[in-house]
Structure 1
Amino acid sequence: MRKVFLIFAIICLMLFSGCGSKGQANEQNTVKKENVDDSPQSIQAAPKKVEPTESLVTVSAIGDVLIHSQLFKDARTGSESYNFKPMFATVKPLLSKSDLAIANQESIIGGTELGISSYPLFNSPFEVADALKDAGIDIVSTANNHSLDKGEKGILNAIQHYEQIGLPYVGSFKNEADANTWRIQQVNGVKIGFLSYTYGTNGIPVPKNKPYLVNLIDEEKMKRDLDTLNGQVDVTIVNMHWGEEYQSFPSDAQKQWAQLLVDHGADIIIGHHPHVLQPIEWLEGKNGNKSIVVYSLGNFLSGQKGDGKDIGGIFSIDVIKRTDANGTTLTLKNPRLLPTYVTKNKNHHYYVELLDRIDKNAYEKVMKHMHQWLETKEVTNSIQ
């Protein structure tokens, strides 16, 4: 009996000790929970630090490439072969240095099949495009008053060659699908879109059932194009074939069109057609955005002489895209013009030379004329 009592006592002692331990553990758990800080600050993740990024693109543009008879005769190397590369040799290092370079190919490059010709109905050899690409040109604007000089066939021939050599074009198109394909290039992380329009085609009507052949200046179309393209790119560049020939200052119509383009988000506007240089100017859009317009870049390579028709230039501007914690901004910085001149060497071969090497007085006059409306060297716009 004493043995049974002893076993019973031991069991009770063990149970009592176990209950005491569990109670102590619960008390400790309760204390720990009461010491935990449940405030929102203690459970929020630390904000991620946004590392600023910055991309720089130097954009350059040249004016009219208009191949008169004296130029294609000089470039001829055979009955149906030409070489225009020597005409660009001096400026090639400058164009190639830019991250992106644009040219206005004014005379259609329909090739020898259509007969090479000069004013008033131009048709140039394919080799003009070859020389432009070799010199560093990355895209050509093809909407101008000579676009239809050789009809639809001229445009199709030119496009076929551009595609063959891998030189992008904008302004005239082979079909609706081509016209509805936005011209966008990404350079150093910056997306750049291109548009091109002309005031007309020298009285040659654009076929009503094929409006895609040439982009005409049309207010509603340009608004739609800009509003759509701007949503896909960081920078929009518009080439405009406009104005009055041989006038050193823009017309009222040029200024009105330029303002409309800026109001709808064009960042850089490059003007062509007057065949002489017209000044550079900053414009402010209706939303406070600031853009730059070169009203005319004159002739870069042509057979025209005198009264400034043989003077052109390489326009350049730096585009800086910066992204940080505050969003993304686009800065247009340091617009500048390097004047050029069409001349001949001692063997009477045509080529483009820097104007300051030919005539320093003319160079100074051109620089003063082109920069007279530039009050600042840079502007910054928010693009997000």
Structure 2
Amino acid sequence: QHIKDCGFDMLTLANNHCMDRGEEGLFNTIQTCKEKGFDVIGAYESAEERQKIFIKEIDGIKIAFLNYTYGTNAFAHGTFLENSYMVNLIQPEETKKGSIHLLNEYAQIREDVERIYSGENDEYLAVKPYLEQLERNIMLAREQSDFVIMLLHCGGQYIQEVDPYSIFITEKIRQFGADMVIGNHQHIIQSCDLTDGYLKVFCLGNFMYDHRVVCDGYYFDSPSYNAVLHLDLTKDETGKVEAEKSFSIYTTAFGDNGLPMAMDSADVFRIKNETYIKNQILSSANLFAGKQCYKEVEERYKL
């Protein structure tokens, strides 16, 4: 409800955690989000619902939104989809033939991409139906709208360099007819690419918490800021849509009420109140603790 009250209208549910509580949990999540008044994409209650392209008309411009994920963490919880229509996937679930494991090393991911997509081998035949479904949906979206945006859940976590699979699949999405792809899953800001009007944003970072965290014994010394993408669409008398794109940079800080809030980076530098000073001290302490923790892990396990 708080997310709705903040002004969000749509939620993307195709992500690697959507099956953490199985299909029943996902079904309940979809229903709860709808009951709160959200438009929901990426996960569906029925096969019929999945066939419909979500299109939002804003000021006379029809915008199609699509949402896909690389996987559902099936390798971790062992729960695989029985009803394939429930989640939009760009490849088979983890551990199945044809899937790319994003926890692998960069070189291994690149080798897997080259091997799987080099020809009509068994692995490619396993992933081919997913690519065909992806292409069909983008083509339908293209036919029914003025502008197509893909919201993609893909990429290695806490890695600043874009992985080869993300580069490959975002290029496929361009070839299939999308106008823009906005990625997430990495938790930190990654690069973007603008070629012939097609914008690939691999990750905007997190929306509401610091990336410099200790997770499973690891400390991620990544930039403590995020980005917001602004998209201004205009349509001329011929029906051609022009897209003006810009970004703003922001970070998370504690307000006077002690609660975290997203703030423009320029505003953060202007704040001199006691709460912010305490926040900076706490942040510095967390950074020191994180580095010490990671140092001990390195020594213990000889990383």
TM-score range, shorter chain: 0.5 to 0.7
1:256 CA drift (Å): 1.4
Secondary structure, aligned partner of 1:340: strand
- Which letter does structure 2 place at the counterpart of 1:274? Q
Which of 89, 99, 106 is residue 216 of structure 1 equivalent to? 89
1:304 CA drift (Å): 4.5
Q: Is the 8 A contact 1:206 1:214 kept in 2?
A: no
Q: Is the 8 A contact 1:173 1:212 kept in 2?
A: yes
Counterparts of 2:192 and 2:148, CA distance in 1: 17
1:252 CA drift (Å): 1.9
Counterparts of 1:170 and 1:297, CA distance in 2: 19
Counterparts of 1:242 and 1:231, CA distance in 2: 26
Q: Is the 8 A contact 2:42 2:88 kept in 1?
A: yes
| Matching of residue 277 in structure 1 with residue 192 in structure 2 | no
Counterparts of 1:302 and 1:216, CA distance in 2: 27
Residue number in structure 2 paired with 1:316? 230
Residue number in structure 1 paired with 2:278? none
Residue number in structure 1 paired with 2:203? 296
Secondary structure, aligned partner of 1:300: coil
Change over 3 Å in CA distance of 1:210–1:182 after alignment to 2: same
- Which letter does structure 1 place at the counterpart of 2:268? I
Residue number in structure 1 paired with 2:59? 188
Cα RMSD of the aligned pairs, angstroms, is 2.0
- Which letter does structure 1 place at the counterpart of 2:27? L
Counterparts of 1:208 and 1:347, CA distance in 2: 43
* RCO comparison, higher one (Cα < 8 Å, 6+): 1
Q: Is the 8 A contact 1:159 1:174 kept in 2?
A: yes
| Matching of residue 140 in structure 1 with residue 11 in structure 2 | yes
Higher strand share: 1
Change over 3 Å in CA distance of 1:350–1:199 after alignment to 2: same
Change over 3 Å in CA distance of 1:209–1:201 after alignment to 2: closer
Greater Cα offset, 203-212 or 350-359: 203-212
- Which letter does structure 2 place at the counterpart of 1:196? N
User: What whole-Å deviation, never above 9, does each CA across 1:65-108 have from its counterpart, x for those lacking one?
Assistant: xxxxxxxxxxxxxxxxxxxxxxxxxxxxxxxxxxxxxxxxxxxx
Which of 234, 239, 243 is residue 151 of structure 2 equivalent to? 239
User: What whole-Å deviation, never above 9, does each CA across 1:241-292 have from its counterpart, x for those lacking one?
Assistant: 11111122322221111111111111121110110001222134xxxxx311
User: What whole-Å deviation, never above 9, does each CA across 1:119-141 have from its counterpart, x for those lacking one?
Assistant: xxxxxxxxxxx222222222111
Matched ranges for 1:363-374 at <5 A: none
Counterparts of 1:309 and 1:183, CA distance in 2: 34
Residue number in structure 2 paired with 1:126? none
- Which letter does structure 2 place at the counterpart of 1:273? H
Any unmatched runs of 5+ in structure 2?
Answer: 91-129, 214-220, 271-303
Secondary structure, aligned partner of 1:314: strand
Percent identity, aligned pairs only, is 27
User: What whole-Å deviation, never above 9, does each CA across 1:22-74 have from its counterpart, x for those lacking one?
Assistant: xxxxxxxxxxxxxxxxxxxxxxxxxxxxxxxxxxxxxxxxxxxxxxxxxxxxx
1:233 CA drift (Å): 0.6
1:209 CA drift (Å): 3.4
Matched ranges for 1:1-384 at <5 A: 130-202=1-73, 203=75, 204=77, 207-217=80-90, 218-284=130-196, 290-302=197-209, 304-305=211-212, 307-308=221-222, 310-324=224-238, 328-333=239-244, 335-359=245-269
Secondary structure, aligned partner of 2:177: coil
Change over 3 Å in CA distance of 1:302–1:175 after alignment to 2: farther
User: What whole-Å deviation, never above 9, does each CA across 1:284-340 have from its counterpart, x for those lacking one?
Assistant: 4xxxxx31111101110246535346522211121111123xxx312111x211122
Change over 3 Å in CA distance of 1:310–1:177 after alignment to 2: farther
Change over 3 Å in CA distance of 1:141–1:208 after alignment to 2: closer
TM-score (norm 1): 0.54
Q: Is the 8 A contact 1:259 1:283 kept in 2?
A: no
1:212 CA drift (Å): 1.9
Any unmatched runs of 5+ in structure 1?
Answer: 1-129, 285-289, 361-384
- Which letter does structure 1 place at the counterpart of 2:55? I
Change over 3 Å in CA distance of 1:152–1:309 after alignment to 2: farther
Q: Is the 8 A contact 1:299 1:309 kept in 2?
A: no
Counterparts of 1:157 and 1:263, CA distance in 2: 35
Q: Is the 8 A contact 1:206 1:213 kept in 2?
A: no
Counterparts of 1:246 and 1:310, CA distance in 2: 12
Greater C-alpha Rg: 1
Counterparts of 1:208 and 1:345, CA distance in 2: 42
TM-score (norm 2): 0.68
Change over 3 Å in CA distance of 1:175–1:206 after alignment to 2: farther
